[in-house]
Chain A
Amino acid sequence: MGRIQDKFDELKNINTKALITFVTAGDPTIEATKKIVSEIEQKGADLIELGIPYSDPIAEGPVIQAANIRALKNDIKIKNIMDAVMEMRTQVKVPIVYLLYYNCIFQYGADKFFDDCKNSGVDGVIIPDLPFEEQDEIKDTALKYSIDIISLVSPTSKDRVERIARSARGFLYCVSSLGVTGTRESFDTNFEEFFSIINKSVTIPTALGFGISTPEHIKKLKGYCDGLIVGSAIVRRVGESSTEDEAVAKVGEFVSSLRSAMDE
């Protein structure tokens, strides 16, 4: 089986949940990303989401938008990110998934894109602007190269959850609340209800994301699902650092604290 499923199975056996961490590739440089990813894995992340920087990230809040701008300043290309992943794969063992906007795949060419994903060691893709109805365009191509298209459900999905969950692959990305990515103080969503709908139809692991930013959030939310996703809170630490070493240290320390909260 693929790395994603193996990882969730392994975590289940040791009775803990997946810590999923997001960083923007190339923020501020691709060399920094390699160091940060390696540090994140060592400090206990179970799955790494790599954001492919985009000029118009409509599902992103200010923190990740700023990271995209920092990365694009260096004219980073998807090909550079593919190469970096291939290089990282010599030591990084956890699953890696891309988060990217559909136009990037469309321009790169879906066949070449998923082929390159497979060759570099990318396990899945999250495409925030490609809802269930539009996935037909690339579903077969992704399948051909065994790359999981990770579907999202949100509190507004309601009657759509069943259809989405039933055909979802990898893990189901459950969006915590309305709006875009970014840290949140608290959540208004009724998670009991949200996950009771999801759990009726889902057969793969579930992970909750958007706004999760502290060890306290982790403790409070880990009971609902199989994994938790932390993005902006990590990216913010990268943005606040004045050197790459500082970014690595800050992110490493933060991920450790999240890991402890998860295993507690």
Chain B
Amino acid sequence: MATQKKGRYGEFGGQYIPETLMNALLQLENQYEKFKNDKSFIGEFEFYLKEYAGRPSLLYFADRMTKDLGGAKIYLKREDLNHTGSHKINNVIGQALLAKRMGKKRLIAETGAGQHGVATATAATLFNMECEIFMGKEDMERQALNVFRMRLLGAKVRPVLSGTGTLKDATSEAMREWASRIDDTYFAIGSVVGPHPYPMIVRDSQSVIGREVKTQIMEKERRYPDYIIACVGGGSNAMGLFHPFIEDKEVNMIGVEAAGEGVNTVRHAAAIAKGSVGVLHGMKSYFLQDRDGQIDPVYSISAGLDYPGIGPEHAHLYSSGRAQYVPATDNEAVEAFKYLTRVEGIIPAIESAHAVAYAVKLAPTLPKDKIIVVNISGRGDKDVYSIAKYMGEDISSEG
């Protein structure tokens, strides 16, 4: 590890980005290195996480679910209870504070499910910055509620029509916008993806999830969990949970990818299960692509997991064998969504429901003294409309 190249996780990561952005990235790295150890910066970050986002989020023992499944003990990390309804706020508070210290006046971001967009729009309001969110046209339809929330918060939402009109294209478009307004604009990327230093910055701010879990589980169980499970789009909620546990080899880390209609169909977004090493959005990682390097159109019921790649540090955790990645289909996720709602009275985001789906499979296969922690990365209010549609029910008020 000592000879590791800067910004690399094994062979993954790097800075594959147009020259126009290079100095901006180097400056970002430099400023981040300066502030991340700065007491007043850390103090401010912790203040807003606690007083504004509502941290620490709870680690809840899912008693009914545990009994119902009849195996390992299940704990839920309640990121859905954060202000704005998901883990995305952790990252955005960190980056918005950094942007302010760097003298930037405008935040831009890409969004898939709209949770990162809402979190960014919220931070822009809180810190008095201008805000523009890039969102695929198809996602704007799937997540109309979040589009409205962003607009209420005063952000501009720019529809992205290029490519497949989803998260991948929104990310490309936000990068293009950044390249044309570097001076006053900060690009607040929403997951552990993109060129270095973004995967590191996002991981560092999300790691609060795993650090809290360590403390909370020690209090409740006097030991670390046997399994920690999170859904993976770009991988920020999973990396936030995993990272503090990387050196604790007895803790099994499992990322759950979106298998859409199944990994053996062409309609899924399982970059680890079905992808290969490639380069996109500034990083070398696993991507779904053809042999000419064209990125495949991907699909998931969950807009937040509908991305053809995965963050570079996950690619490394996978290829080094430290973490495991498994797929969950639309169907399994929807069943898990309904299950958690009915059994625990918690409506999870459809993204998080992918992680729940795997826990539901795993728990009964384990003895009762094993412990599983599942990250509930967000709440499901935003999803009820599309879930109803999936179930064939019409809940529109015009009806």
The chain A residues found within 8 Å of chain B, CB to CB, are: 54-59, 61-62, 65, 72, 77-78, 101-108, 128-134, 151-160, 164, 175, 178-180
Measured between beta carbons, the chain B residues less than 8 angstroms from A106 are 277-279, 293
Set A61, A107, A155, A175: member contacting B293, Cβ < 8 A: A107
Q: CB of B20 within 8 A of chain A?
A: yes
Q: In the complex, A104→B280 CA distance in Å?
A: 10
How many of chain B's residues have a CB under 8 angstroms from any CB in A? Answer: 37
Give the residue of B24, B179, B281, B292 whose beta carbon is less than 8 angstroms from that of A59: B179
In the complex, 29 of the A-B residue pairs with CB atoms within 8 angstroms, ordered by the A residue number, are: A55-B163, A56-B169, A65-B162, A78-B292, A103-B280, A104-B292, A107-B278, A107-B289, A108-B291, A108-B292, A129-B279, A131-B15, A131-B19, A132-B19, A133-B15, A151-B19, A152-B18, A153-B19, A156-B20, A156-B21, A156-B24, A156-B182, A157-B19, A157-B20, A158-B23, A178-B20, A178-B181, A179-B176, A180-B179
A18 nearest CB across to chain B (Å): 21
B22 within 8 A of A: yes
B198-250 residues at the A interface, CB under 8 angstroms = none
CB closest chain-A residue, reference B294: A55
Q: How far is the CB of B183 from chain A (nearest CB, A)?
A: 8
B16 touches A129 (CB 8 A): yes
Q: Which residue of B176, B180, B289, B293 contacts A58 across the interface (Cβ within 8 Å)?
A: B176
Min Cβ gap A24→B in Å is 14
Q: Considering residues B16, B278, B291, which has the most beta carbons from chain A within 10 angstroms of its beta carbon?
A: B16
**A54/B293 contact (C-beta < 8 A), A129-B279, A160-B22 known:** yes
User: Quick check: is B59 within 8 A (CB to CB) of the other chain?
Assistant: no
Across the interface, do B23 and A157 meet the contact criterion of CB distance under 8 Å?
A: yes
A65-B162, A179-B176 are known contacts. Are A152 and B19 too (CB-CB below 8 A)?
yes
B354 within 8 A of A: no
Q: A55–B308 Cα gap in the complex (Å)?
A: 12
* Interface class of chain B by DSSP: mixed
3 A-B pairs with least C-beta separation = A179-B180, A107-B293, A103-B293
State whether the Cβ of B172 lies closer than 8 Å to any Cβ in chain A. yes
Q: A131-B18, A133-B22 are in contact. List 13 more A-B contacts (CB 8 A).
A: A58-B175, A101-B293, A103-B293, A104-B293, A106-B278, A129-B18, A131-B19, A132-B22, A133-B15, A158-B23, A160-B19, A179-B20, A179-B180
**Residues in chain A near residue B182, CB distance under 8 A:** 156, 178
The reply to whether A156 and B23 contact each other, CB–CB distance below 8 Å, is yes
- Contact A129 B282, CB 8 Å, known A56-B295, A160-B23, A175-B19: yes
A-side contacts of B22, CB under 8 Å: 131-133, 156-157, 160
A-contacting residues, B2-32, CB 8 Å: 14-24
A-B contact count (CB 8 A): 116
Q: In whole Å, how far is A141's beta carbon from the nearest beta carbon of chain B? A: 16
In the complex, B168 has a CB within 8 A of chain A: yes
Minimum C-beta distance from B69 to chain A (A): 41
Given A129-B18, A131-B17, check contact A58 B172 (CB 8 Å).
yes
Please determine whether A55 and B295 come into contact, CB atoms closer than 8 angstroms.
yes
- Tell me the bound Cα distance from A102 to B18 in angstroms: 11
State the CA gap A129–B283 with chains docked (Å): 10
In angstroms, Cα B289 to Cα A102, docked, is: 13
Residues of chain B contacted by A158 (CB below 8 angstroms): 23
Among A105, A156, A158, chain B packs the most CB atoms within 10 A around the CB of: A156
Cα-based distance from A124 to B18 in the complex (angstroms): 18
Q: Which residues of B sit under 8 angstroms from A151, Cβ to Cβ?
A: 19
User: How many angstroms between the C-alpha atoms of A104 and B182 in the bound complex?
Assistant: 27
Q: Is the CB of B15 within 8 A of A134?
A: yes
CB-nearest residue of chain A to B26: A160
Q: A65-B162, A131-B15, A131-B22 are in contact. Are A180 and B279 (CB under 8 A)?
A: no
Contact of B176 among A54, A160, A180 (CB under 8 A): A180
Which residues on the B side are within 8 Å of A102 (C-beta)?
16, 279
Assembled-state Cα–Cα distance A57/B169 (Å): 10
Contact A107 B163 (CB under 8 A): no
Q: How long is the Cα–Cα vector from A59 to B18 in the complex, in angstroms?
A: 7
Chain B CB count within 10 A is highest, among A55, A155, A160, for A55
**Docked pose: A178 CA to B17 CA in angstroms:** 14
- Closest chain A residue to B7 by CB distance? A133
Q: Taking the nearest CB of chain A, how far is it from the CB of B10, in angstroms?
A: 15
What chain A residues lie within 8 Å of B281 (beta carbons)? 56, 58
CA distance A178 to B168 in the complex (A): 22
Contact between B163 and A56, CB atoms less than 8 A apart: yes
Chain A's nearest CB lies how many Å from the CB of B5? 9
Task: Give complex CA distance A103, B181 in Å.
Answer: 26
Kindly state the separation between the CA atoms of A178 and B185 in the bound complex, as whole angstroms.
13
Interface members, chain B 144-199 (any A CB < 8 Å): 162-163, 168-169, 172, 175-176, 179-182
